[in-house]
Amino acid sequence: MTDEKYIGMGLALSSSALIGVSFVLTKKGLMSTSAKYGSASDSYNYFRNYIWWAGMTLLGLGELANFAAYSFAPAVLVTPLGALSVIVGAILASLFLGEKITPTGKAGCALCLLGSVVIIIHAPEDEVISSVDQIFQLAMRPWFLLYSFAVLVFSLVMMFKVAPKYGKTNPLIYISICSLVGSMTVTACKGFGIALKLTFAGNNQLTHLSTYVFALTVVVCIVVQMNYFNKALEVFSTNIVTPIYYVFFTTATIVASITLFRGFTKTDTVDITSLICGFLIIFIGVFLLNSFMNR
């Protein structure tokens, strides 16, 4: 299990690097499209821009690596390592988008790295899963059903009532939607990824209905998540969107993961305290990085 944990960690780090680059390319493509057509996300003109497609390709590769990471390591470890994407995105945005980083912002990057190291050291092991139906049964427990229902209701209200009025003036609107829906993407990815891993190991899970339920959930959630992420990137600075999205997405994913897998039930007090400190260090880091940018 420990070896699989480090495989997952390596995949998560690779994913974060690819996603960090993709953020900047996507933003560049959206800016180019807006300059040419007057709007990017409203009329989906970004589909005509090759820079946007390059960003989406890297994002797809990054998400594929991230998807694989969730099959090997707990979400409590994989998700916080997304802090690297914040750092990569900030550095490249300063080079190619003119969004400068101050010394305090650089200190924020260092804190993100420090917090990630703390989490790597103290992350709990995943419980052994023998079939995809086992995960589906976990998802049917009352607390996770309540979380899923809350995400659904909140997202629908934000999408159809709040976003049309306030989405272009407050970055939290679009980001909260894609972050909460993203937490459902992660849990479904975990289920579908484990189904594939068990199948490749000789324990066929493709005959289980649960496998396809998780696969469908992944597709639907990713479509919604990417739609609102693109809207946020078009309207707001990369160095606003990326850190806030990271904090919201990480928090939502950890809550979803703990609710589904009960990841802290076998973790001692020292490790739990260290994990919380690691999260706080990263959150402070992304706050500093976001607050002290020369825009």
Over the stretch 76-111, which tens digit does the pLDDT of each residue have? 778 778 778 878 888 888 888 877 778 888 888 888
Q: 224 and 178 in contact (C-beta within 8 Å)?
A: yes
How far, in Å, CA of 116 to CA of 153, rounded? 32
Residue 72 confidence class, pLDDT cut points 50, 70, 90: confident
Q: What is the residue range of 74's domain?
A: 2-294
How far, in Å, CA of 192 to CA of 210, rounded? 8
Q: 79 and 260 in contact (C-beta within 8 Å)?
A: no
Q: Residue 143: helix, strand or coil by DSSP?
A: helix
User: Which of the listed ranges 191-200, 253-262, 266-275 does the model predict with the highest average pLDDT?
Assistant: 191-200
| Residue pLDDT, tens place only, 214-244 | 999 999 999 999 899 889 988 887 767 877 8
Instruction: Provide DSSP, 172-206.
Output: HHHHHHHHHHHHHHHHHHHHHHHHHHHHHTT---T
How far, in Å, CA of 29 to CA of 126, rounded? 39
Give me the mean pLDDT over the 142-151 stretch. Answer: 95
How far, in Å, CA of 160 to CA of 155, rounded? 9
| Residue pLDDT, tens place only, 160-214 | 999 999 998 988 899 999 999 999 998 898 899 889 989 988 889 999 999 999 9
In the numeric block, which tokens belong to residue 119? 């989490």
In the numeric block, which tokens belong to residue 160? 């159809």
CB contact set of 140 (below 8 Å; sequence gap of 6+): none
Give me the mean pLDDT over the 266-276 stretch. Answer: 78
Domain total of the chain: 1
Residue 295 confidence class, pLDDT cut points 50, 70, 90: very low
Looking at residue 263, what is its pLDDT?
58
Is the pLDDT at 39 greater than 80? The verdict is no
Of the candidates 63, 45, 64, the one whose C-alpha atom is nearest the C-alpha of residue 53 is 45
Is the pLDDT at 46 greater than 80? The verdict is no
How far, in Å, CA of 9 to CA of 147, rounded? 27
How far, in Å, CA of 17 to CA of 261, rounded? 27
How far, in Å, CA of 244 to CA of 252, rounded? 12
Residue 68 confidence class, pLDDT cut points 50, 70, 90: confident
| Whole-number average pLDDT of the chain | 84
The four Cα atoms 87, 63, 31, 100 give a dihedral, to 10 degrees, of 0
| Residue pLDDT, tens place only, 14-23 | 998 998 899 8
How far, in Å, CA of 18 to CA of 285, rounded? 20
What is the rounded end-to-end Cα distance, in angstroms, of the chain?
45
How far, in Å, CA of 37 to CA of 39, rounded? 6
Of the candidates 167, 171, 28, 92, the one whose C-alpha atom is nearest the C-alpha of residue 36 is 28
How far, in Å, CA of 161 to CA of 165, rounded? 7
